[in-house]
Amino acid sequence: MTGASSGIGAAVARALRASGWDVVAVARRADRLAELESEVGVVAYAADLTDAADVSALAAWLEESGPVHALVQVAGGARGTDRVEDGVAADWQWMFEVNVLATQRLVAAVLPLLRRTAVDDGYVSTVFVTSTAAQTAYPGGAGYNAAKAGESMIAHALRLELNGEPIRVIEVAPGMVFTEEFTLNRLGGDTVGAEKVYEGVQDPLTAADVADVVAYALNAPGHVNLDLITMRPVAQSAQHLLARGPLRPRGGTE
């Protein structure tokens, strides 16, 4: 699985280990992976998925290490909240590299290994953690909207292309999730701005919430494919409709 050094990725690694999976945890930050390896017993593998050579080396290592039953793609990210007319091309290019091209490289490299496992063991799985940003545009989000929509379309097309094979293609699209790094990185380290994003929102999703859903989807019977799971906190009824302040029932007695 990818993106395992922090946030949702690290939580998914923990959830899968807790439910009995052997996990190869992939990310760029080797120090963070080493901590996770010590904590829950994953096998750490440091790689930059935007580097084709690193992806090829990962696939070769996986081929030698044993059968691959699932690919869980969590790695990704956002940079900036610029309007389309003010977009920074370098930020948009980075988002396309980490969310779309890295995903395509990973699928191309690992799919032959999944097919090999399926010959002997039956159903195998792919899981893509995208975002509700892939489904609905919002002002200041166009670069991330486009990147996550691209990743989502990879999953949709792949499911059609694999028709007739025992390979599940699952997409999990979270809405507002509070993690320590995502929004902070998106805002270039602006701590105050990152705090305002979640200000007053009762119970945004946590990384563990998303991880539980990913684990559920993977642990479902092999013939059950959860094509698309959209998940949001109750406070976020839609991408553009977010309640700030305590959630209270209407019409109740005092």
pLDDT digits (tens, 9 = 90+) for 207-229: 999 999 999 999 999 999 999 99
Q: Which domains does the chain have, with CATH numbers?
A: 7-242 (3.40.50.720)
Is the entire prediction scored with pTM above 0.85? yes
Q: Which residues of 27-46 are buried (b: 16+ CB within 10 A; e: fewer)?
A: bbeeebbeebbeebebebbb
Q: Helical H runs in the chain?
A: 7-18, 30-40, 52-65, 89-96, 102-121, 142-161, 182-186, 191-198, 207-219
Check: CB of residue 114 under 8 Å from CB of residue 63. no
pLDDT digits (tens, 9 = 90+) for 76-104: 999 999 999 999 999 999 999 999 999 99
pLDDT digits (tens, 9 = 90+) for 22-55: 999 999 999 999 999 999 999 999 999 999 999 9
Q: Band of the pLDDT at 183, cuts 50, 70, 90?
A: confident
Backbone angles phi, psi at 198, to 5 degrees: -100, 0
pLDDT at 31: 96
Q: Which residues pair with 27 in a beta bridge?
A: 46
State the catalytic residues. Answer: 144
